[in-house]
Structure 1
Amino acid sequence: MVLRETVFSKWAVLLLGFVLMSNVLLYHPVIQEALMIEMESGLILGSLLDMVVVAPILIYAAFRVSKKQVIGFMIAGLVLARFLIPEEFFAPYTMLLYAGVGFEALLFLAELSLVAYLLWKIPSLRAEMKRSGEGAVFSMLPAAETTVGSHTLIRVIVSEALMFYYMMFSWRKKAPAHDGCVTMHKKTSALAMNIMVIHAIVIESIGLHWWLHSKWPVLSTVLLLLNVYGVFLFLAEIAVMRMHPLEVKNGKMYVTQGLMQRVAIPLDFIEKVEWGGTPGDKTMTFMYRDLEQTEPQVVLHLKEPVDATIFMGRTRSVESIALKVDHPEKLKQLLP
């Protein structure tokens, strides 16, 4: 979840923490004895309203979530209230919990059918990708939205599929090497840094899993799975870094920074090229990490905002992009 760029969002996070913490403490025996709290129907109803209504509203105010996700948080609030409130006091509201869980199960089945439809459409999706003539990092998600439709679950699944594709099936493929290509990573330490991070994750996984498994096996397993996912993600990042330099072809400029962000810009959308310019608030920077602090070489100002794709298939509107490439002189010849 991404925090909303509003003044109230941070206050909503604080209020959300206060609501959750106060309800957790409310049912602690020590707190009840110290404050002489008696379990009454009004108190139980107030906790239910906090979990089912107030908390989801605060989440919606604080984070960029959809209305359907808010419904999920309302049902999650019911489940959380069931664990907080003693069983004898929650009994009158049990049917409400069953109804909420049943509704969530129906939504889950609907999303499962959407996943099945996506799998059935894979041949059409691959044909659409080939027709576009673009690399998988640029064509897979648009092809899925064309053949199946735009849906948050589809974007997430396709983004994960994209990661596994580059992690497993792209290593034998060669990077494009025509006159419109400009590499972005060869004169940086990005490749070495990613390999170092992979080594650190593997070493940390072995040591931490060995120590935690005897104490908290569930936590140990969860952390191990997260670390394995992290290794897969960095391997895919390396593959995308190698396979996709900045590329100008078919009247567009394609630029990506691993799987984290990518954009395709028609060349006639570029209004001004500012070498040595300073990125602004609406600027997306494409610059691989280096051991030394570096700055972008050029800022491309656009005639109108374009949508760039970021992690998990989300989109972000950008008015300019900043770049750092290995051969700026070659990039000057490619730009209008």
Structure 2
Amino acid sequence: MMILGKKQNIWLAFLFMVLVSNYTLYNTGLGSSILPIETNGVVLGSLIDLVVIVPVLWMLYKGKFSLKQAIFLAAFGCIAARFIIPLEHLQPFVAVTWAGFAIEAILILLEIFLVATLVRYLPRILDDVRASSLPDLFSFSQAVEKQIPKHPVIQMICSDLLVLYYGFASWKRQERPGLTLHKNSSYIAFQLMIIHGIAIETIGIHWWLHEKSMILSIVLLIFNIYSVIFFIADMQAIRLNPVYVTDDTIYVSLGLMKRTEIHFDKIEEIIDDKEQLERKLSKDTIDFVARDFGEAYPQVILKMKEPVEVTFMLGIKKRYNQVAIKVDQSQEFKQMLQLRMSKQLA
């Protein structure tokens, strides 16, 4: 894993070198001194760098390759060329940059179409959520995937909808019964401290920054307001979504930050040895442990027969081989796990 990470950093270093060298060539005195009188060949080379080389290096760095991503990055390279290469040098190839703008416009229109599709099917999605017995964090995402094809933009919008719902529309909801993760921790106190810090920073920095750059101060203000709403929504989400257990699956979420579904027949081993629990968790272990002022350790680690998928904020998904969990009702949780697993083995 360390070797793989170093290789990925090399691709990022190469990408940075390509961008810096092209910017230096056209926008510094050193670059101007080495540019030939006839620059068409040099500009063509820069366009190849920005439209072909940079996208390839970025995909090598991320380790993900797709035609859509390649087209998007190539279009972005065309647009970047418009800002990096002065127009007097770029003039013979200006159509290439306009092609980049056209591709980006088409992609944006497709994203708008997806958003319109989400709005169109939203009543059906809400009906599915109301009809489901699962916690809203799980039923909502399942309803969206049922009604609308998976897409990163849709996932991001759905994450924002959850933030708005828990931030503004969930205050009359009653806590559902179940195993909780936060009551015996300082999780809520941490969230309140963060909100308090953001409020102080907004009051102090916003007025100072407003004198320097009004636009930047407004952007920062909007970001801080959204952050406060998010942390309030996260507190509501962890309060209203305790651990939910069915005959074959356990649904675990830690606020809006992360959630997963664990099938009992996929659990290979329950680790509850104190020495192992207090060790540093491995990279292939995801933890559902609420933050505390002191050191917080999981009560069990579930070793899986196959990797379990965990969904993070903005719909980002990763897979892990082990799941570390700490609940407020420790003995009840362990008894439930043993009972459900014994039924699966029977």
Supply the distance in 2 between the matched residues of 1:321 and 1:32 (Cα, whole angstroms): 54
Helix, strand or coil: the match of 1:133?
Answer: coil
The alpha-carbon deviation at position 271 of structure 1 amounts to 2.5
**How far apart, in 2, do the equivalents of 1:24 and 1:281 lie?**
38
Whole-Å separation in 2 of the counterparts to 1:204 and 1:64: 37
Deviations 1:122-164 (A, max 9, x none): 1211122233321221111121111111112211111111111
- 1:273 aligned counterpart, secondary structure: strand
Q: Deviations over 1:11-57 (max 9, x none)?
A: 11111111111112112242235x54335212111211111111111
Q: 1:29 to 1:272 in 2, by over 3 A?
A: closer
Matched, 1:49 2:51: no
Do structure 1's residue 14 and structure 2's residue 16 form an aligned pair?
no
Q: Is the 8 A contact 1:141 1:159 kept in 2?
A: no
Stretches of structure 2 lacking an aligned partner (at least 5 in a row): 339-346
**Per-residue Cα deviation, 1:45-81 (whole angstroms, up to 9, x for no partner):** 1211111111111111112555423322221221121
**Which residue of the partner structure matches residue 76 of structure 1?**
76
Partners of 1:112 and 1:28 in 2: how far apart? 36
- Provide the rounded CA distance (Å) in 1 between the counterparts of 2:187 and 2:4: 30
Q: Residue 191 of structure 1: CA displacement? A: 0.5
TM norm structure 2: 0.89
Please list, as runs of the form range in 1=range in 2, the aligned pairs for 1:202-213 lying within 5 A after superposition.
202-213=199-210
Residue 333 of structure 2 is aligned to residue 335 of structure 1? no
* TM-score normalised by the chain length of structure 1: 0.92
1:315 aligned partner? 317
Q: Runs of at least 4 residues of structure 1 off by over 6 A?
A: none
Structure 1: state its 5+ residue gaps.
Answer: none
Question: Any conservation in 2 of the 1:167–1:235 contact (CA below 8 Å)?
Answer: yes
Could you tell which deviates more after superposition, 241-250 or 312-321?
Answer: 241-250
Equivalent residue for 1:114? 114
In 1, distance between residues paired with 2:293 and 2:262? Answer: 29
**What amino acid is aligned across from residue 185 of structure 1 in structure 2?**
H
Q: Is the 8 A contact 1:19 1:50 kept in 2?
A: yes
What residue in structure 1 maps to residue 235 of structure 2?
Answer: 238
Matched to 1:308, the amino acid is V
**C-alpha deviations, 1:74-106, integer Å up to 9, x for none?**
212211211121111111111111222112212
Alignment-derived partner of residue 226 in structure 2? 229
> How big is the shift at 1:247?
2.5
Q: Offset at 1:332?
A: 1.4
Does residue 261 of structure 2 align to residue 264 of structure 1? yes
Shift of 1:253: 1.1
**TM-fit CA distance, 1:303:** 2.6
CA RMSD of aligned residues (A): 1.9
Q: What SS does the corresponding residue of 2:212 show, helix, strand or coil? A: coil
Residue 32 of structure 1 aligns with which residue? 31
Q: 3-state SS of the aligned residue for 1:182?
A: coil
Q: Counterparts of 1:1-336 in structure 2 under 5 Å?
A: 6-32=5-31, 36-38=34-36, 40-63=39-62, 66-177=66-177, 181-276=178-273, 277-278=276-277, 279-336=281-338
Whole-angstrom CA distance in 1 between matches of 2:19 and 2:150 = 34
